[in-house]
Structure 1
């Protein structure tokens, strides 16, 4: 894991942008003051989640999280053919320390590349008409139990949940599961047997009886 280094992020971003569109100048700066949905006119916003590690400076406890919010504010000047990105990674607070401070995340090289690749692909999609398919969060280590429940995340004073959204299974249920998931039968929908014969049924029964008697007399002649 690597601690957040502004120069490294800016350098990696510019290298990737130069590979995609070398004739355009794009810059990236880390900014802790930007907030979600508060943008100057003409700016665009892009957010993604990332996986990283935190280390508490008070108790030296470390924890992993896949709910690290990466916020980017993007501006493109077509007249100067220049663009700039302001990026913020949101800190988290240790659960074991009541008076702990918010700690900045650390990312692996693989996750830094993923974050920047998603950002570059988004810029190419919005301003240059390229396709866009975001790379999902890369889990490099198992999450700690506390981070599976709730964690303190800095950002507008909101206490956020760290539960992961699980993908619904596409496999067919077993016969036992299918039968158990069926709703109980409603007795009111089952018709009760009729005890009395209708008028038509009575006439039909009398007609059959009379026919049987006449046929018996004919056979006895």
Structure 2
């Protein structure tokens, strides 16, 4: 099972963002410290609440899939420099096979790049950026 790969997310993101914001340069990065509604001045937020992904517990190796994956995006566009940033956080899920309180589960690739689920998450961000990051 392929673990979440930021290169594949970036590749799809750059393709999609180019369709709606070709004049701007965007950067996408994973940030597991993002908090909901904790935004700097000028930043916008988008929350994808029902994405599909698969998980594998780093402790017991239990594997499961879920349609309740939450992905948080924070976006900022500097109009003068034509430069945008997107920070992304994929929330982990707790393994029910392990003892209570274990949260060391690792996300595997949320669908393969190019599939509907992967494209939908990035399209949601792209659409949000194109309308709110002006």
* The two structures share one fold, judged by TM-score above 0.5: yes
> What SS is found at the alignment partner of 1:70?
strand
**Deviation of the 1:48 alpha carbon:** 0.7
Kindly indicate whether residue 111 of structure 2 is the aligned counterpart of residue 108 of structure 1.
yes
Task: Write the deviation string for residues 117-172 of structure 1: whole angstroms up to 9, x where unpaired.
Answer: 111111112235xxxxxxxxxxxxxxxxxxxxxxxxxxxxxxxxxxxxxxxxxxxx
2:130 to 113, 124, 129: 124
**Deviation of the 1:95 alpha carbon:** 1.1
**2: CA distance between counterparts of 1:81 and 1:7?**
22
After superposition, the CA RMSD in angstroms is 1.7
> What SS is found at the alignment partner of 2:23?
coil
**Deviation of the 1:41 alpha carbon:** 1.2
1:59-78 equivalences in 2 (<5 Å):
59-78=60-79
**Deviation of the 1:77 alpha carbon:** 0.6
**2: CA distance between counterparts of 1:59 and 1:94?**
9
**2: CA distance between counterparts of 1:90 and 1:5?**
15
The structure whose residues are more often strand, as a share, is 2
**1: CA distance between counterparts of 2:58 and 2:71?**
22
> Whose relative contact order is higher, 1 or 2, with alpha carbons under 8 Å and at least 6 apart?
2
**2: CA distance between counterparts of 1:127 and 1:94?**
37
Q: Unpaired segments of 5 or more residues in structure 2? A: none
The TM-score, its normalising length taken from structure 2, stands at 0.86
Contact preservation (8 Å) 1:47, 1:72 = yes
Q: Please name the residue that 1:22 is paired with.
A: 22
**Deviation of the 1:91 alpha carbon:** 0.6
**2: CA distance between counterparts of 1:83 and 1:29?**
11
Q: Which runs of at least 4 in structure 1 moved beyond 4 Å after TM superposition?
A: none
**Deviation of the 1:53 alpha carbon:** 1.0
1:184-195 equivalences in 2 (<5 Å):
none
The TM-score, its normalising length taken from structure 1, stands at 0.54
Higher Rg of the two aligned structures? 1
